[in-house]
Structure 1
């Protein structure tokens, strides 16, 4: 008999047929007459109840059917007599494929803290919460490719190992094969990277953008979706050392077109998750509502998770300039009452508390902020006519802050070279990037969306470490 997954059984199977299901035991309860075994195979948030009657299964036969054990169950699918499920399986045969000693198995039928579950990240997928989170993550990843494929974009794989620093941040992981106990030195005493594997200093990438721009100058519309790395010593709920970025680059786009595409993209992938993972999102919404009850009244969410996602998917984002954002913040009650930790002034970057005030308190919806001061933005962003601001945009989301960062790129060679000099980037190191301006350059734009922050937004999870399977953070690379 061929195995059938629980999701398929619950959605379309007909009662009265014999079925074979395989999965892991979530719970077992019963009495001397019957045992009820909840089995889950990861295909859905819902368990399937297996009924094992005493006249068919002795206590000895079921002794290894414990929480966490892997089982294969054969039996008849019937309409359930209990509440909360449409079907159950009247078991005729149960085989234990893998035991789980109940004395040491760490996941039991009780609430476990997210902090504890991070310590057993290899097992946390088996919980309802993380099962839901990672099914949603899977759906969002699929929707990313679906969206760009439908629009005719070319999926481009950009390098993970690179000799350039797209952001100019300097917080990068070094890639080397040099013997750290016997480092080769130049006459000046510096490390001689000419003897390294690539003949120069290389790092793990912080962005695929620069290489993406090269491809956009041939294919018009491309996107990347891959891992990126930051060696930032940060232990906040918003930062990871290894994370995934979606970075489209579009030739012949200006800032307005860039913002339009980003808004359309966000709405599309949210709708996909709502249509295909509603059960998971409803479960995560209930979890979030329970968390909310423990908070003070003024800190509680005004919308449920489902309401928030549907609101974002069905309403236009607010659009303001950076200058307007500063004016709103300076005139806000929060600023006047000195509730912001960081000061607000034109020319300073917006901090998370400022971003969240704009979206959660002032506009109560996602906000696209454009035209930032050029001195706080990257060298590749197009300088506006005022020579003070650049054609940059950030999309701010409730509960997260910045979720998208992008810009129209500087296509004018002379201005780009001047900007590079200003931040200490040598022309000879970026000759290939400058060539795209020398040979058939054109106006173009792009943005980056941090995938984990998007997963956070859709699932309502408060810590970014809980939306990536194996978080990489300072002092943590266990799994």
Structure 2
């Protein structure tokens, strides 16, 4: 007989049928009641043991964290809190868990403590719920693009270009760290390295995706990216996952339409398929909010916030309009912003983005037509010569969640922008080729997957929505 998942059993009508289930013990009360969980659902199933039917050694082996297999009859539960339970007829201990040293006990643990036990934290209700939502979001993303005529493309992880121009990249090399080969000028001679040039871990698959969009029409990447930014904040990781669609023949308006429809689609999917986990995470968040000062509490519960995005049209506002709103806002005039808005050209911070979404427009916002000086070289220059066809999608509680643009398809303009920023043409000769051979209007955007998971789960720290976070001074597990 094959094992049943607990999720399936809890959906079964109560009847006396023989079942097998395997999982980890959450609690064992009165040497009789086992709360068992196998990761398929936030809910446990109660397994009732008749003490007299089992050897004392077996009973002593049942403790929180132990992996067990039970066989028994699925019947209507006599107790509260569950519709069905298993009357155990046979029990096998896969693996004991020492009750004295097992760190995930049935009590409240701090998130900081659980990060130190990242290999075990998925056994807690919070992290199992987060990771199931993460999995559902991942499926929804692929499903959305596949249903809308996109092709999945694997961008290279090792690259010789810096797509963002940030310079904060992890070097990939096989050279001897203590005695690398040197040039006549005393510099490291990367011509003797594995790839014959200096290479790094990618910060984005966008440039390569552009190349494939100009042949396949619509593509998307969904893979790991890396930033060597020495930033220990709740919003940054050194290794994270990015979703980057690129579309030939899309202008900025079509790009904004796609971003809005895409986000609504994937969030609607988790609302429909992760109800139990989202309800648990919402209650967790509400309990957490009670410990905060009133002024710091969220105005919306988790499910309300998700529906707020799914059900509302995104407000589209130019950067110039946003600056005027922020400059004349009460927080700015009363110097409540940490970064005051004084003049056009300022790079907006999270506090500004959240004000626009949560206080001013009270709906998700797409800002577009940003100053060229604060955006990347590949964004299409507007006719005013000052702004580019960039767009950012802003969400409540998180600020920017998507960044994208119409790409610069004009060869001469792109060459001039690269020259102004001292980007050598020989490094991106192939990218310039795309403008020589059948150039066309095209657009795309990037969405940090962990930011989306944060939003969908209500978790405050990005380190808690990825299985094993990589941050400065931390590459454990």
Corresponding residue of 2:223: 226
Q: Which moved more, 1:344-353 or 1:216-225?
A: 344-353
Q: What are the residue-to-residue correspondences of 1:59-78 with 2, within 5 Å? A: 59-78=56-75
Corresponding residue of 1:15: 15
Q: What are the residue-to-residue correspondences of 1:297-376 with 2, within 5 Å? A: 297-344=294-341, 345-376=343-374
Distance in 2, matches of 1:126 and 1:365, equals 36
Distance in 2, matches of 1:36 and 1:15, equals 20
Distance in 2, matches of 1:235 and 1:97, equals 40
Per the TM alignment, residue 85 of structure 1 is displaced from its structure 2 partner at its CA by 1.1
Corresponding residue of 1:461: 459
Q: Which moved more, 1:18-27 or 1:340-349?
A: 340-349
Paired residues of 2:151 and 2:216 also in contact (CA < 8 A): yes
Distance in 2, matches of 1:133 and 1:364, equals 27
3-state SS in 2 of match to 1:12: coil
Per the TM alignment, residue 279 of structure 1 is displaced from its structure 2 partner at its CA by 0.4
Per the TM alignment, residue 13 of structure 1 is displaced from its structure 2 partner at its CA by 5.4
Over aligned residue pairs, what C-alpha RMSD do you find? 0.9
Distance in 1, matches of 2:363 and 2:83, equals 38
3-state SS in 1 of match to 2:434: helix
3-state SS in 2 of match to 1:421: helix
Q: State how many pairs are aligned.
A: 476
Corresponding residue of 1:198: 195
Per the TM alignment, residue 109 of structure 1 is displaced from its structure 2 partner at its CA by 1.1
Corresponding residue of 1:428: 426
Per the TM alignment, residue 15 of structure 1 is displaced from its structure 2 partner at its CA by 2.1
Q: What are the residue-to-residue correspondences of 1:343-422 with 2, within 5 Å? A: 343-344=340-341, 345-422=343-420
TM-score (norm 1): 0.98
Per the TM alignment, residue 312 of structure 1 is displaced from its structure 2 partner at its CA by 0.9
Per the TM alignment, residue 428 of structure 1 is displaced from its structure 2 partner at its CA by 1.2
- Of 34, 39, 64, the residue aligned with 1:37 is 34
Q: Deviations over 1:322-366 (max 9, x none)?
A: 111111111111111111111313112101111111112222221
3-state SS in 2 of match to 1:55: helix
Per the TM alignment, residue 88 of structure 1 is displaced from its structure 2 partner at its CA by 0.6
Q: What are the residue-to-residue correspondences of 1:439-478 with 2, within 5 Å? A: 439-478=437-476
Distance in 1, matches of 2:115 and 2:246, equals 35
3-state SS in 2 of match to 1:310: helix
Corresponding residue of 1:289: 286
3-state SS in 2 of match to 1:72: strand
Paired residues of 2:217 and 2:248 also in contact (CA < 8 A): yes
Q: Which moved more, 1:270-279 or 1:54-63?
A: 54-63
Per the TM alignment, residue 27 of structure 1 is displaced from its structure 2 partner at its CA by 0.4
3-state SS in 2 of match to 1:62: helix
3-state SS in 1 of match to 2:58: coil
Q: Deviations over 1:212-236 (max 9, x none)?
A: 0000000010000000000000001
Per the TM alignment, residue 295 of structure 1 is displaced from its structure 2 partner at its CA by 1.4
Q: Which moved more, 1:287-296 or 1:49-58?
A: 49-58
Distance in 1, matches of 2:336 and 2:188, equals 47
Distance in 2, matches of 1:459 and 1:270, equals 11
3-state SS in 2 of match to 1:436: helix
Distance in 1, matches of 2:459 and 2:315, equals 24
Q: Which moved more, 1:54-63 or 1:136-145?
A: 54-63
Distance in 2, matches of 1:367 and 1:104, equals 49
- Of 151, 172, 181, the residue aligned with 2:169 is 172
Q: Which moved more, 1:354-363 or 1:118-127?
A: 354-363
Per the TM alignment, residue 14 of structure 1 is displaced from its structure 2 partner at its CA by 4.8
Q: Which moved more, 1:194-203 or 1:82-91?
A: 82-91
Corresponding residue of 1:259: 256
3-state SS in 2 of match to 1:60: helix
Per the TM alignment, residue 61 of structure 1 is displaced from its structure 2 partner at its CA by 2.6
3-state SS in 1 of match to 2:49: strand
3-state SS in 2 of match to 1:63: helix
1:242 aligns with 2:239: yes
Off by >6 Å, runs of 4+ in structure 1: none
Paired residues of 2:326 and 2:332 also in contact (CA < 8 A): yes
Stretches of structure 2 that go unaligned for 5 or more consecutive residues are none
Per the TM alignment, residue 422 of structure 1 is displaced from its structure 2 partner at its CA by 1.2
3-state SS in 1 of match to 2:60: coil
3-state SS in 2 of match to 1:325: helix
Paired residues of 2:394 and 2:400 also in contact (CA < 8 A): yes
Q: Which moved more, 1:443-452 or 1:347-356?
A: 347-356
TM-score (norm 2): 0.99
Corresponding residue of 1:129: 126
Q: What are the residue-to-residue correspondences of 1:202-217 with 2, within 5 Å? A: 202-217=199-214
Q: Which moved more, 1:51-60 or 1:372-381?
A: 51-60
Distance in 2, matches of 1:340 and 1:49, equals 52
Distance in 2, matches of 1:55 and 1:196, equals 69
Distance in 1, matches of 2:207 and 2:165, equals 12
3-state SS in 2 of match to 1:61: helix
Per the TM alignment, residue 449 of structure 1 is displaced from its structure 2 partner at its CA by 0.3
Per the TM alignment, residue 58 of structure 1 is displaced from its structure 2 partner at its CA by 4.7
Distance in 1, matches of 2:436 and 2:57, equals 78
